[in-house]
Chains A and B, each alone.
Chain A
Amino acid sequence: MSIAGTRIMPTRGFLLNFKRRVKSIEEGYKLLEMKRDELSNRLREYLEQLRAAKKAFIENAAKVMDKFKEVYALTGPDALDALSASIEKLRIRILPISIMGIHVPEVKLENLPDIKNKYPPIVRSVAEIIYEMLDDLIKITELEMKIEIISYDLERTNRIVNALEKIVLPSMKSTIKLIEDMLDEDELEEFIRLKIVREKILGRGRS
């Protein structure tokens, strides 16, 4: 007899080891359940934050994009290309933070280029608006990345928890019961055999 690749032996020693194994799996199951709950809560929290941040951002972004397109068309691609090239680049650092053992990114702004005193008329008005939206844009990107990573891991954890809860642990527990029953039967058989032998020995002695 075997279960999950392990050969089952109806012995006390095997039963004890098997019970120990089931206990550690149950502890692991509890930890994974906690992980699942925590990931669920975080996911819900990040989704709320994303919903709020995106709503305002998308409305503004649509208006800014329309304005930017007009500025781009009016200034011409070469001139606008030259203007954007001459500004210092935005620098960010992505730090991993751990949520229940999963590494999610946290964005730290290292250098936000200063646009004051840099742009000529027309371009500066749209540059200023885009500059003010940069923080929100970075925040939204960070949240989306976190949500994607957590969702993937949550799906995986959920699958493992469900498998443990519905398949592995019940199967292992029924195996324990089976072994216990078999051992009880063996004990009873042994007891009755001993009783018969005893009676035979005692009978012989009387005669």
Chain B
Amino acid sequence: MSIYIVARSHGLSTRLLPREVIEALSNAQTLNDMVSLLSPTDYGAKLEKGEEVKPYTLYRAITEVFRDRINFLASVPEKKNIRDFVVTYLRRYEVEDIVKALRHLKAGELPEEILGKIINFKFAKVNFDEMTQSRSVDKAIELLKNYGYMISDAAIELYKKYDSLLPIEAALMKNYYRRIFDTLKNLSRKDRKQIEMILRIEADIENMFIAVSSFLYNYAPELVEYLLIPYTEKISLDSFKRVVYLKTAREILETFKPYETIAENILRREELIAKVEANKYIYKLLEQVKVAYMMSMPYLVYFIKRCEFEWRDLTYLSYAIHYCTEKECIRRGLISI
């Protein structure tokens, strides 16, 4: 049985940029060339022609298109169980906004400055106006409870001990994963299994970056253990916890064998390349899902991730072209090609 939102996302996917366009954009010499290539697309309406283009202006336009797409998906009328899943899934972007806002609050920035730097989706539970008016991280964390974002005492303790927002970020992500896995129970078994697998693989990859923090960057093991996401797929949570205390790259690589290429780059401290490899891995996985689950919920996950990857690729291109990064480096940093 096809689902309305999946059918709508099929329609919207025709508006995504094909690979050839991303390749053409990667060959652009200037930002104006990029704007010219983007003018017949959804981005064209957001870009002012004739003016000299700055990378941040381009970035804001790209982000607006991404925000509009995500807002649209959150507003598509659907049955309660589907809608709950969609909105909960999309809250990952709200969590990113919350973390950004907390970081700016920690710096003591003004509310209006902070509001200009977050995306602020329509479906967000958090009232960012109220949150930014609190003017302190501690008060903001208290306020988050009112919006259903409970931060555990352990996270708050670690935040105070290490003066780091990483435990708060981890608490929000764990909260997110717990909720998404709850809403998945209301989907069909086949869809649930597929989407769970994608989410768990994403968590595996995230955990790989986290687990080596002690070994590579001397992060406190106690903090690193807390940051690990418990929903794993190919590597168990206990294995990740063991990696936190390992002292040799060989042992770590052995544990991360299912994701060998990504792990090698992480251990070489080439985290940028590792992150791109990780995104490409997820992208290839989703391309397979797209074919097998054409008219069911995993296709929607594929579509959302495609929107996200397009946003990240275009942001990357705006700054890489502005900084005259070498073509080879530009192509290396893109997820979609």
Which of chain A's residues has its CB closest to B222's CB?
A117
B106 is an interface residue with CB less than 8 A from chain A: yes
Which chain A residues lie closer than 8 Å to B104 at the CB level?
81-82, 85-86
Known contacts being A79-B100, A121-B209, A124-B217, is A74 close to B276, with CB within 8 Å?
Answer: yes
Structural contact, A69 and B166, CB atoms closer than 8 A: no
A71 is an interface residue with CB less than 8 A from chain B: yes
Which chain A residues lie closer than 8 Å to B96 at the CB level?
79
B169 is an interface residue with CB less than 8 A from chain A: yes
Size range of the chain A interface in the assembly: 20 to 34
Which of chain A's residues has its CB closest to B99's CB?
A82
A128 is an interface residue with CB less than 8 A from chain B: yes
Known contacts being A70-B333, A121-B210, A122-B275, is A77 close to B320, with CB within 8 Å?
Answer: no
A126–chain B nearest beta-carbon distance, Å: 8
Which of chain A's residues has its CB closest to B279's CB?
A74
Structural contact, A77 and B325, CB atoms closer than 8 A: no
Checking A67, A69, A78, A121 against B100 with a beta-carbon cut-off of 8 angstroms, the contacting residue is A78
Which chain B residues lie closer than 8 Å to A73 at the CB level?
315-320, 323, 325, 333
Structural contact, A82 and B312, CB atoms closer than 8 A: no
State A124–B269 Cα separation when bound (angstroms).
10
Which of chain A's residues has its CB closest to B319's CB?
A73
Known contacts being A81-B117, A117-B162, is A76 close to B106, with CB within 8 Å?
Answer: no
State A120–B169 Cα separation when bound (angstroms).
10
Checking B99, B317, B325 against A69 with a beta-carbon cut-off of 8 angstroms, the contacting residue is B325
Structural contact, B320 and A117, CB atoms closer than 8 A: no
Structural contact, B220 and A117, CB atoms closer than 8 A: yes
Which chain B residues lie closer than 8 Å to A128 at the CB level?
217
Structural contact, A116 and B165, CB atoms closer than 8 A: no
Structural contact, A72 and B319, CB atoms closer than 8 A: yes
A162 is an interface residue with CB less than 8 A from chain B: no
Structural contact, B219 and A85, CB atoms closer than 8 A: no
Size range of the chain B interface in the assembly: 35 or more
A102 is an interface residue with CB less than 8 A from chain B: no
Within 8 A of A (CB), among B31-65: 55-56, 59, 63
B8–chain A nearest beta-carbon distance, Å: 27
Summarize A's interface: helix, strand, loop or mixed.
helix
Structural contact, B117 and A70, CB atoms closer than 8 A: no
Which chain B residues lie closer than 8 Å to A85 at the CB level?
103-104, 106-107, 109
B196 is an interface residue with CB less than 8 A from chain A: no
Known contacts being A81-B117, A120-B169, is A66 close to B325, with CB within 8 Å?
Answer: yes
B218 is an interface residue with CB less than 8 A from chain A: yes
A83 is an interface residue with CB less than 8 A from chain B: yes
B155 is an interface residue with CB less than 8 A from chain A: no
Checking A74, A116, A117, A121 against B333 with a beta-carbon cut-off of 8 angstroms, the contacting residue is A74
B98–chain A nearest beta-carbon distance, Å: 11
Which chain B residues lie closer than 8 Å to A114 at the CB level?
163
Q: Which 10 A-B pairs have the closest CB atoms?
A: A85-B107, A73-B319, A121-B209, A86-B103, A82-B103, A82-B100, A69-B323, A86-B106, A117-B162, A73-B320
For the complex with contacts A78-B117, A85-B106, A86-B106, 6 further pairs of A-B residues with Cβ separation under 8 Å are A76-B312, A78-B59, A85-B109, A116-B218, A120-B169, A124-B217
**B interface residues with partner A (beta carbon < 8 Å):** 55-56, 59, 63, 96, 99-104, 106-107, 109, 117-118, 162-166, 169, 209-210, 213, 217-220, 223, 266, 269-272, 275-276, 312, 315-320, 323, 325, 329, 333
**A interface residues with partner B (beta carbon < 8 Å):** 66-67, 69-74, 76-79, 81-83, 85-86, 88, 114, 116-118, 120-122, 124-125, 128
Q: Would you mind naming 15 contact pairs between A and B with Cβ atoms under 8 Å apart?
A: A70-B272, A74-B275, A74-B316, A78-B117, A79-B96, A85-B106, A85-B109, A88-B163, A118-B165, A120-B209, A121-B210, A122-B275, A125-B269, A125-B272, A128-B217
